[in-house]
Amino acid sequence: MNATWHILGAGAIGNLWACHLISAGFPVSLILRSEEKLSQFNEQGGLLLQDTLYPASAELADHNSQISQLLITTKAQDTQIAFNSIRQRISDTARVIVLQNGMGSQQWITDQLPDADIVWASTTDGVWLEEPFKLIHAGEGYTRLGNPDKDSYWVEELGRGFLKIELDDDIKQTLWCKLAINCAINPLTANYQCQNGELIKNPDYLSEMAQICHEVEAVANAAGIQLFKEPLIKHACDVAELTANNYSSMMQDVRLGRTTEIDAITGYLCKLAEQYAIPTPTNLKYLRKIKKTHECI
Ligand code: KPL
């Protein structure tokens, strides 16, 4: 019998991965935030993905079972509180996957569990919750996973499910590329309350995006990270064009009055820039704007 995968962060990506892991033959338990969520889940009896019911189970953080396989899909800013609520239950040598936007919390988790086998991941799958525990897999992408320090062959077992999985021997670089695109698109769309495509139509927004990209490249360069083969602005424009009618995740958070991932995205970049003494005025401008307007700081 395969060991259970526990999922911390039962949003759209966490739920999609729960279905994936079930399809790969693993028992799955979602760690939910409240009794209310738990009864809502139990009423449905599992996760619904495109009319198929996936028989996951669910529990609260204070359940007493040990956790030997853990997938963390919380929003970056919720990670520490959520992780600390289950810390006592995680076995020292657990297998852990950290699948999140932004940077910083992957390393934080790795530091908390020095003997665990931890892989970091990045995905291009597009998914949203039509209702709680009812999913729409809107865009089929792929998920890259890799341990930044060693080989973790168990990741291959995850390839048995329906999602596309790729082993990544340079996951830091992959996460950096995602971070760079998120720095270019997310704060601008959140600030100007627009769709991604507007950034390439409006010359003022485009010029801000070019500045942001220029600064991100300088910081990546100082950190010894090779981003894309072509200039970042070219890549960011391509993504904005491909996702022209979409609202970025940060824009959606702002619209729904939720805290955003700005600290894990632009905030991470600006902190690193400070360490390398690289000026990042445009990134700092949007970091402050988003925090001031939407995070009450
Ligand atoms: O990842 C994204 C997001 O919205 O978070 C895209 C669409 C690529 C924009 O940065």
Atom of ligand 1 nearest to the CA of 178: 1
Domain boundaries, the chain: 5-169, 173-294
Which atom from ligand 1 is nearest to the alpha carbon of 186? 10
- Strand-pairing partners, residue 128, are 136
Q: Which of 26-30, 214-218, 252-256, 261-265 comes out lowest in average pLDDT? A: 252-256
Does the CB atom of residue 239 touch ligand 1 within 6 A? yes
Distance between CA atoms of residues 289 and 171, nearest Å: 30
Residues 6+ apart with CB under 8 A from 268: 102, 103, 104, 179
Taking CB atoms within 8 Å and a gap of at least 24, the contacts of 273-277 are 273/215, 273/218, 273/219, 273/222, 276/219, 276/222, 276/223
Distance 139 CA to ligand 1 centre (A): 13
With 50 as the cut, is the pLDDT of residue 200 above it? yes
Q: Tokens 């990134």 map to which residue? A: 283
The class (CATH top level) of 173-294 is: mainly alpha
Which of the four pLDDT bands, split at 50, 70 and 90, describes residue 138? confident
- From the candidates 37, 164, 178, 289, give the one annotated as an active-site residue: 178
Mean pLDDT, residues 191-213 taken together: 98
CA dihedral 254, 77, 158, 154 (to 10 degrees): 160
Q: Which two tokens stand for residue 173?
A: 């670089």
Specify the 3-state DSSP secondary structure of 70.
strand
> What pLDDT score was predicted for residue 150?
87
pLDDT at 297 over 50: no
- Asked if pLDDT for residue 296 goes beyond 60, the answer is no
| pTM (predicted TM-score) | 0.94
Note the pLDDT of residue 93.
96
Ligand 1 lined by 260 (C-beta under 6 Å): no
Cα gap 257→243, rounded to integer Å: 23
For residue 99, which of 157, 3, 163, 14 has the smallest C-alpha distance?
A: 14
Rounded to whole angstroms, how far apart are CA atoms 291 and 250? 12
pLDDT at 187: 98
Q: What mean pLDDT do residues 171-184 have? A: 97
The token pair that represents 147 in the structure block:
């341990």
CATH class of 5-169: alpha beta
Q: Does the annotation count 134 as an active-site position?
A: no
- Ligand 1 within 6 A of CB of 186: yes
The backbone torsions φ and ψ at residue 280, rounded to the nearest 5 degrees and listed phi first, read -135, 60
Span from the CA of 249 to the centroid of ligand 1 (angstroms): 6
**Mean pLDDT rounded to a whole number for the chain:** 95
81-97 pLDDT, tens digit each: 999 999 999 999 999 99
Residue written as tokens 């904005």?
A: 240
The rounded Å distance from CA 186 to ligand 1 centre is 6
List Cβ neighbours of 279 (8 Å cut-off, separation of 6 or more).
Answer: 215, 273
Structure tokens at 291: 């925090």
Of ligand 1's listed atoms, the one at least distance from the Cα of 248 is: 4
